[in-house]
């Protein structure tokens, strides 16, 4: 900017000089060319310097996202993952055959349904907001209260949860799967060592193996890998605000969360005291309002927010966090700045990997939908 202004001044001066040189009748009193004016000359203030972030402050986020969260307890194979993908999309695992995992965790929509509470069997409402399944395998445990230890254990829950897929018991899921010849084949291929492979345990292992590959790397990972240009200046300013405000006390690690349990309302009580969080599980008063800190990956796309789905807009969620978790009043502009940074965590959906699969057709004994 400064450079442009200076060169304009210079060339104007030169123009006057050369005009004068061709004049025959003498020149008007010539002023000596002024030196280019210093500091006062620029019209606009120079743009703010690009925010620089001390790399040491990024250590709190660890390394970029891994490519998968495969587990040696559930070794993956192409056949197992392909079966898991089918089961994830199969509505026949619900009582009325109208709900699959994907109904509430839409993989094309960052793994959520966008509702405050999801609609389960007979349009019943659950009591908690559906979290995303992307990166879930990387959390310390599953569910808002961490009551399932991993994605394999978690996958057994929804099928028999009366307000979700509502099958009467796990045996029923096995009967459904055993009645579908294509699945009998697919389970044999996915679990070749098993004599009777069509079990609920293997079904949840297959779903888990599929979920362990649901990873959405974003520009932030490039940034963590050292590509400083991967975030723009506005996002970097938001990241600094996020660090300076103290959000990383809980939202740390490569998932910016997912690794600890914390009290919601750590400084100021949460406005909605209905859900006791982990205390409902442990019956211990000290666990009241303790929830798993959610990951902030893709958070700009997974509204509404919090276990109670109470907040629609990300900057509002940021302000609420600052006030209830840290006792800080954030200005609107600062909340917006943090929200802008958080959008850099919006990753790439693995479109090919999540393609809706062809499902094997019913066999003769496959039960009919049960709307009751
Ligand atoms: C009717 C909607 C619904 C259906 C169907 C459903 N879920 Fe969920 N899911 C939820 C809700 C709500 C929660 C949070 C419940 C809680 O924390 O108590 C959840 C939690 C999860 C979590 C934990 C994520 C985290 O961050 O802790 C995973 C993983 C998950 N579901 C996977 C699945 C799979 C796999 C299926 C199919 C077998 C499935 N869900 C079917 C609504 C649903
Ligand atoms: C003391 C720990 C702590 C601090 C500090 C903290 N959070 Fe949280 N954050 C949580 C917990 C716990 C939850 C889950 C609350 C719930 O829904 O019950 C959460 C949830 C969120 C959510 C909602 C995510 C979702 O998927 O619903 C956002 C967004 C968020 N935090 C952003 C921030 C920001 C930005 C800051 C800094 C201003 C911050 N948090 C500071 C613990 C913390």
Can you give the pTM of this predicted structure? 0.89
Alpha helices in 161-254 (DSSP H): 170-178, 181-190, 200-211, 219-224, 233-245
- Alpha-carbon distance of 201 to 133, in angstroms, equals 19
Tell me if 207 CB under 6 Å of ligand 1. Answer: yes
* Count of other CB atoms within 10 angstroms of residue 206: 30
* Count of other CB atoms within 10 angstroms of residue 178: 17
Residue 54 Cα to ligand 2 midpoint, Å, equals 24
Q: Which residue from 303, 306, 310, 340 has its CB within 8 A of the most atoms of ligand 2, so it is best to mutate? A: 306
Q: Lowest-pLDDT range, 35-44, 80-89, 283-292?
A: 35-44
pLDDT in tens, 261-283: 999 999 999 999 999 999 999 99
Ligand closest to 133 (CA) is: 1
pLDDT in tens, 67-107: 999 999 999 999 999 999 999 999 999 999 999 999 999 99
Q: CB of 122 within 8 A of CB of 369?
A: no
Tell me if 317 CB under 6 Å of ligand 2. Answer: yes
Confidence of residue 50 (pLDDT cuts 50, 70, 90): confident
The H or E element containing residue 82 is helix 78-89
Q: CB of 338 within 8 A of CB of 71?
A: no
pLDDT in tens, 171-215: 999 999 999 999 999 999 999 999 999 999 999 999 999 999 999
**Which atom in ligand 2 lies closest to the alpha carbon of residue 292?**
12
Domains and CATH numbers, the chain: 78-211 (1.10.760.10), 218-343 (1.10.760.10)
Q: What is the CA radius of gyration of the chain?
A: 29
- Alpha-carbon distance of 223 to 230, in angstroms, equals 5
The closest alpha carbon to 342, from 330, 334, 350, belongs to 334
Per-residue confidence (pLDDT) for residue 84, from 0 to 100: 98
């Amino acid at each position: 900017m400064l450079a442009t202004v200076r060169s304009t001044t210079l060339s104007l001066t030169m123009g006057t000089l050369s005009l004068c040189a061709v004049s025959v009748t003498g020149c008007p009193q010539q002023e000596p060319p002024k030196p280019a004016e210093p500091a006062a000359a620029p019209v606009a203030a120079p743009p703010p310097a690009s925010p620089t972030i001390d790399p040491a402050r990024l250590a709190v986020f660890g390394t970029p996202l891994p490519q998968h969260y495969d587990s040696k307890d559930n070794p993956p194979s192409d056949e197992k993952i392909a079966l898991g993908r089918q089961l994830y999309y199969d509505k026949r695992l619900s009582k009325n055959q109208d709900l699959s995992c994907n109904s509430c965790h839409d993989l094309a929509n960052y793994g959520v349904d966008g509702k405050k509470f999801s609609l389960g069997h007979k349009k019943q409402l659950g009591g908690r907001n559906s979290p995303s399944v992307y990166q879930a395998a990387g959390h310390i445990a599953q569910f808002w209260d961490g009551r399932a230890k991993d994605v394999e254990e978690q996958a057994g829950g929804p099928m028999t949860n009366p307000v979700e897929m509502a099958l009467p018991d796990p045996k029923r899921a096995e009967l459904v799967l055993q009645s579908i010849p294509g699945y009998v084949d697919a389970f044999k291929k996915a679990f070749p060592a098993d004599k009777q492979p069509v079990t609920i345990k293997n079904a949840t292992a297959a779903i888990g193996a599929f979920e362990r590959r649901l990873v959405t790397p974003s520009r932030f990972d490039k940034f963590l890998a050292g590509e400083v240009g991967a975030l723009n200046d506005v996002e970097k300013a938001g990241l600094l605000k996020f660090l300076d405000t103290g959000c990383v006390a809980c939202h740390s690690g490569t998932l910016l969360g997912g690794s600890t349990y914390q009290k919601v309302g750590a400084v100021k009580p949460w406005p909605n005291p209905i859900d006791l969080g982990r205390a409902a599980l442990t019956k211990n008063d000290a666990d009241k309002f303790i929830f798993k800190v959610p990951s902030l990956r893709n958070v700009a796309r997974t509204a509404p927010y919090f276990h109670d789905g109470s907040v629609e807009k990300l900057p509002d969620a940021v302000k609420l966090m600052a006030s209830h978790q840290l006792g800080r009043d954030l200005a609107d502009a600062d909340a917006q700045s943090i929200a802008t940074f958080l959008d850099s965590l919006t990753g790439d959906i693995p479109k090919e990997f999540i393609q809706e699969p062809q499902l094997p057709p019913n066999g003769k004994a496959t039960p009919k939908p049960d709307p009751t």
